[in-house]
Structure 1
């Protein structure tokens, strides 16, 4: 590891506790934010807020476990059981933790944003832009989890609380549309302010633009989704990792990965062992001591991947077999370990979760083009991703041969499923496109362990506002 990476790790670990940046209803130590050096140190602290398990672990589990790419293999004492089985309730600890963690990031960012006047210096503009990005990302993650998909009601459903200040107040929830508008405004300003090309552990202009592309796609503004995806691609700052190294993509630290746009950097000091994201997906097959290994790739996902045995994305799945080659099972659920969150720097459960990467940006562009009727352009981007996965010839699509799919959009959504599996995209992709989530495979789905369908308008598609928060803030209305 390079020297500046070691220094960054030290700063992150120190600033996480040395600055009194409390959740949004606390009091900040604003006297610690007087110099550019103070503001830089405090900004490291905001990034450290993402590393906190309240944010990063729950972000993945709340976003991935409701999908059909994973199979919970049995009852578990972890509250992700309720997330997976769509039996949410207001007192869930994981939603309360995420709400608190996200608003702590937002409050901390606000404390810095309020101290910086635009145009004071390029350094301070950069720091303000980074904090605007972090504030926007946290709001977007919140509204995806607690507000209905944008296109249900055109954004008029209740969203989350917008906090753009450090006042100790009790705001009501804003609409989904208002939250999206706020996120877009923050990201656009962030992109304009940031002029430094920092590595993928930090925000930069292209990081803001990549998130803008995703936000616009989610709200059905395909023209702007296309516009911002092309900005990121044409910047030439990133390129797809080559096929062979891609097999271990997620073991590479983000600042050394040419495809990663933004990741939540975890250093060796941030290893959480069995409390890490990867611990539920994986357990070292040799020692059987590194994780819980209770959530596997679903049989439905594996069958889709197996259509093309040469697809190198098989590298992210580790089927467990006995000495005779038979699949091992837990409670009748085949054990397909997932390793996307394991073995960074050789440590079993260490991972820097990737939030934005170039492959997703290509697929945002593909989906936007498919919805705009630009079929050939959409297919070209899908084939680019498939080619990188080691596929060629008959494994690629043409506009005249969609291989059984009814539309180009179906092709794109299936490729998103294959490429972005386990990265907390799939449930959002289904429900924002008004598609049901169908589990017709073994897993502990609830009363029926082989068949569960959740329609996109189901109330349990989104989470309840945490009970603790509605108790503290009487202006917060609850989701039905």
Structure 2
């Protein structure tokens, strides 16, 4: 797997670290790339290389493919027309062993992991606080990359994690020779590796930076998510508590919430970690949001192709559930295509589907297709804690956190009388996660890790598989995960394939 090694770090800062006007506080910004073969010999070089690693996350190979692989298999999206690209296979669950998107993501994730290793291995644990800060940020990035990979290419943790194959663990101790013949670790081993990295990252990170960077709280937030995936609910609560009680973040409210994804991400009080794009870093028709939206800079929908491809919609299932309360502020993230007061339909589908564009990945700072993908935010911490407490039979505590999110959205709070044998507290929490975290790459994983199916009972191109709009993907289905890219298996025969 040569993609892991023979790698000279070339993603570094072209501009110096930018300081604010304040003499007492630094503000750091990831920037662009330059090459320097002697980069890692100084602390400033290591810092610059780390900034380059953040910048690499903005590449199309990483950013777009992460989103599509995580989001398109969910039941909150509907594909409006077949595409000649691999996106259609991701959506339909007709995954390929040579999937272009899965291959590109797999390679890019390990490419960045290799870059983090080159820095991590040069910084001993007894180093200065400045060096440990650099090490901690790279440990966070490496952990995030491995966690994303094991979710996509390894089966859900609830399904025999000690025997099911996960992904190769690329640590700083893996030599180039070993990397060429590396095997897949088990799902449990990858999770253990990720947790160890995050715990160490939290110890190393002491400098307060913006939400475009790894911080101690970002490590805690990701630990909360990971423990939830492992069904270690006490730990999920513990780390969610640390983030919430830090008071470093506040839920966006009212108009600010309804335009959550449209502002400068570093000024967003709810973001914990996001991949920041500036106005000059707009991929336009190649951006994530181009697939979801075609409209003006104010969120008003226009015809397909006006400003983006507009081929993926909010599903009728999701929109109808969201519209149960017409006053729900989260409706501002949907831009229905309405002409002369009439909801427009996509007649390419049978039955015809309403065109509900999604603008969550658009409209940043008035640029139609600009977005800074949010990976961790405070609302998820409340919902992580709610789900964990639901499973710990702390029903009122779970309801309290769900109601924080519902109250912010402007819809009625739940009481204990709403918890019934047919509408359990876990049902309530998962529904609220669906409403709140839609189009952020979480829905399918929320279902599968809880042994629940993805049920598509609405129009979309999935109907071309068997002529029915009904498609059910059970958590045990082989294709809830992707194939290991065949190109990587050709390089390394020790990489086993998913069934």
Same fold (TM over 0.5): yes
For residue 322 of structure 1, report the CA deviation from its aligned partner.
2.4
How far, CA to CA, are the matches of 1:264 and 1:87 in structure 2? Answer: 29
Q: Output one character per residue of 1:156-185: Cα deviation in whole Å (capped at 9) or x when no partner.
A: 200000000263222100000000000000
Q: Output one character per residue of 1:404-443: Cα deviation in whole Å (capped at 9) or x when no partner.
A: 8521000000000000000000000010000011000011
2:251 aligns with 240
2:310 aligns with 293
For residue 8 of structure 1, report the CA deviation from its aligned partner.
8.7
2:429 aligns with 412
| C-alpha spacing 1:136/1:102, structure 2 compared with 1 (3 Å) | same
1:227 aligns with 238
Residue 176 of structure 1 pairs with residue 187 of structure 2: yes
1:185 aligns with 196
How far, CA to CA, are the matches of 1:113 and 1:324 in structure 2? Answer: 58
With normalisation by structure 2, the TM-score equals: 0.90
| C-alpha spacing 1:355/1:80, structure 2 compared with 1 (3 Å) | same
**Do the aligned partners of 1:46 and 1:105 also contact (CA within 8 Å) in 2?**
yes
Residue 270 of structure 1: SS of its match in structure 2? coil
Residue 346 of structure 1 pairs with residue 357 of structure 2: no
Residue 313 of structure 1 pairs with residue 321 of structure 2: no
For residue 336 of structure 1, report the CA deviation from its aligned partner.
0.1
2:293 aligns with 282
1:255 aligns with 266
From 446, 458, 470, the equivalent of 2:489 is 470
Residue 216 of structure 1 pairs with residue 223 of structure 2: no
**Do the aligned partners of 2:53 and 2:112 also contact (CA within 8 Å) in 1?**
yes
The alignment covers a number of residue pairs equal to: 464
**Do the aligned partners of 2:154 and 2:165 also contact (CA within 8 Å) in 1?**
yes
**Do the aligned partners of 2:74 and 2:454 also contact (CA within 8 Å) in 1?**
yes
Residue 422 of structure 1 pairs with residue 448 of structure 2: no
2:143 aligns with 136
**Do the aligned partners of 1:320 and 1:335 also contact (CA within 8 Å) in 2?**
yes
Could you tell me which runs of 5 or more consecutive residues in structure 1 were left unpaired when the two chains were aligned.
Answer: 20-28
* Worse-matched range after superposition: 447-456 or 63-72: 447-456
From 355, 363, 369, the equivalent of 2:375 is 355
1:373 aligns with 393
Residue 95 of structure 2: SS of its match in structure 1? coil
From 302, 315, 318, the equivalent of 2:319 is 302
From 98, 112, 117, the equivalent of 1:110 is 117
Residue 78 of structure 2: SS of its match in structure 1? strand
1:24 aligns with none
Q: Output one character per residue of 1:376-410: Cα deviation in whole Å (capped at 9) or x when no partner.
A: 0000000000000112xxx2111122388521000
1:54 aligns with 61
Residue 268 of structure 1: SS of its match in structure 2? coil
Q: Output one character per residue of 1:102-153: Cα deviation in whole Å (capped at 9) or x when no partner.
A: 0011001000101112232211111100000000000000000000000011
How far, CA to CA, are the matches of 2:27 and 2:175 in structure 1? Answer: 31
1:385 aligns with 405
1:26 aligns with none
Residue 429 of structure 1: SS of its match in structure 2? helix
How far, CA to CA, are the matches of 1:153 and 1:10 in structure 2? Answer: 42
Residue 400 of structure 1: SS of its match in structure 2? helix
**Do the aligned partners of 1:73 and 1:330 also contact (CA within 8 Å) in 2?**
no
How far, CA to CA, are the matches of 1:238 and 1:134 in structure 2? Answer: 21
For residue 311 of structure 1, report the CA deviation from its aligned partner.
0.5
2:7 aligns with none
Residue 165 of structure 2: SS of its match in structure 1? coil
**Do the aligned partners of 1:254 and 1:262 also contact (CA within 8 Å) in 2?**
no
How far, CA to CA, are the matches of 1:242 and 1:322 in structure 2? Answer: 30
With normalisation by structure 1, the TM-score equals: 0.93
**Do the aligned partners of 1:64 and 1:427 also contact (CA within 8 Å) in 2?**
yes
Could you tell me which runs of 5 or more consecutive residues in structure 2 were left unpaired when the two chains were aligned.
Answer: 1-16, 296-300
**Do the aligned partners of 1:443 and 1:449 also contact (CA within 8 Å) in 2?**
no
Residue 416 of structure 2: SS of its match in structure 1? coil
- Structure 1 vs Structure 2 CA RMSD: 1.9
From 433, 450, 471, the equivalent of 1:452 is 471
